[in-house]
Amino acid sequence: MTRRSTPEPATPDDGTAHAAPAHLSARAVRIEYRAPGASASDVTLAVDNANLELRQGDFVCVVGPSGCGKTTFLNAVAGFLPIQGGTLELDGRAIPGPGPDRAMVFQQPSLLPWRTVQDNVTYGLELGRTMKKARARERAGDLLDLVGLTGFGDRHPAQLSGGMQQRVNLARALAVDPELLLLDEPFASIDAQTREVMQAELLRVCTARNVTALFVTHDITEAAFLADRVCVFSPRPGHIVREIEVPFGRPREQRLRRSREFLELVDEIADVLYGGSPVDEFGTGREDEEVH
């Protein structure tokens, strides 16, 4: 196969940087958790020396053992957490905190139950107060069309299935027109069949709107189907031990999943992630081991 797989992600200093400027750039990022007043020994080093670059329109998936720092890293990119070392930049500027240029989709839908589907989608726009009400409603309608929920705008979240609620969540994240979409296992609680449909939809939406996406998942097949590149995190403290380029263009058909090339890619990612041991999956106490 012609796929390129790099042991460590390229950094701009090593002469192999991509021609286009990085949209998101993480260099030697270090993130610790320290309770207020805690002693130095009470610090949890969650992420250490994480290097990653995303260009506009990239779809990058992150996989790694449970507790290795994936959510932590995503939260830092979202601006919810400060970093203690390295640099984390969006379009060349240090991330100052949360901003409308980024939107996060969590594992659970987190919709407001008393609001209709449409009003959930417009919620972020209301907070930003950047758009007239009529325009916001129109936009919500377009986004509901985009995620396959035409006609459901007047329902309430409890009247929708889990998969439909997660689509509303996605529409809400897209409503603020983010440049960078951050997704933390968004489809983990959705049944396998719906998940496959949602994956194809997400990819279609991101391609149509040229959204850059950073997507955390435990599901290697999901990562292989969605990503332009799959980044494998080491056990905690997390850093990226391998970037695997995905050789498939977009759009991607469901039947891609059954192709030999796809299955080989899934195997390759699994080898890096499990270090050749398919039995020892995530979160089995191997935090002190490196993934090679």
Ligand X SMILES: Nc1ncnc2c1ncn2[C@@H]1O[C@H](COP(=O)(O)OP(=O)(O)OP(=O)(O)O)[C@@H](O)[C@H]1O
- Please say which residue, 50 or 146, places its beta carbon nearer to Mg ion: 50
Containing H/E element for 268? Answer: helix 260-274
When asked if residue 70 is in the footprint of ligand X (CB under 6 A), the reply is yes
**Which listed residue (5, 11, 49, 67) binds ligand X by CB under 6 A?**
67
Cα within 13 Å of Cα(22), Cβ side: 20
Residue 155 CA to residue 230 CA, distance in Å, equals 37
Stretch that binds Mg ion, among 13-21, 71-79, 174-182, 229-237 (CB under 5 A): 71-79
When asked if residue 259 is in the footprint of ligand X (CB under 6 A), the reply is no
- Please say which residue, 70 or 139, places its beta carbon nearer to ligand X: 70
Instruction: Count interface residues toward Mg ion (CB under 5 A).
Output: 1
State how beta strands 180-184 and 102-105 pair. Answer: parallel
When asked if residue 71 is in the footprint of ligand X (CB under 6 A), the reply is yes
Which residues lie below 8 Å from residue 291, measured CB to CB, with a gap of 6+? 64, 65, 232, 234, 235, 241, 242, 272, 273, 274, 275
Q: Which two tokens stand for residue 272?
A: 């890096």
Residues 187-246 that bind ligand X (CB under 6 A): 236
Q: Which two tokens stand for residue 2?
A: 């012609």
Q: Which does 236 bind (CB under 5 to 8 A by kind): Mg ion, ligand X, none?
A: ligand X
- Please say which residue, 51 or 118, places its beta carbon nearer to ligand X: 51
- Please say which residue, 77 or 136, places its beta carbon nearer to ligand X: 77
When asked if residue 217 is in the footprint of Mg ion (CB under 5 A), the reply is no
**Which listed residue (22, 24, 29, 46) binds ligand X by CB under 6 A?**
46
Instruction: Count interface residues toward ligand X (CB under 6 A).
Output: 12
**Which listed residue (4, 8, 42, 66) binds ligand X by CB under 6 A?**
66
Instruction: Give me the helices (H) in 79-191, please.
Output: 117-121, 123-128, 133-146, 162-175
**Which listed residue (25, 71, 169, 199) binds Mg ion by CB under 5 A?**
71
State the minimum distance, in angstroms, from the CB of residue 70 to Mg ion: 5
Contact 171, 141 (CB under 8 A): no
Which residues lie below 8 Å from residue 147, measured CB to CB, with a gap of 6+? 167, 168, 170, 171, 201, 205
The distance from CA 224 to its chain's CA centroid, rounded to whole angstroms, is 13
Binding site for Mg ion (CB under 5 A): 71
Binding site for ligand X (CB under 6 A): 33, 44, 46, 64, 66-72, 236
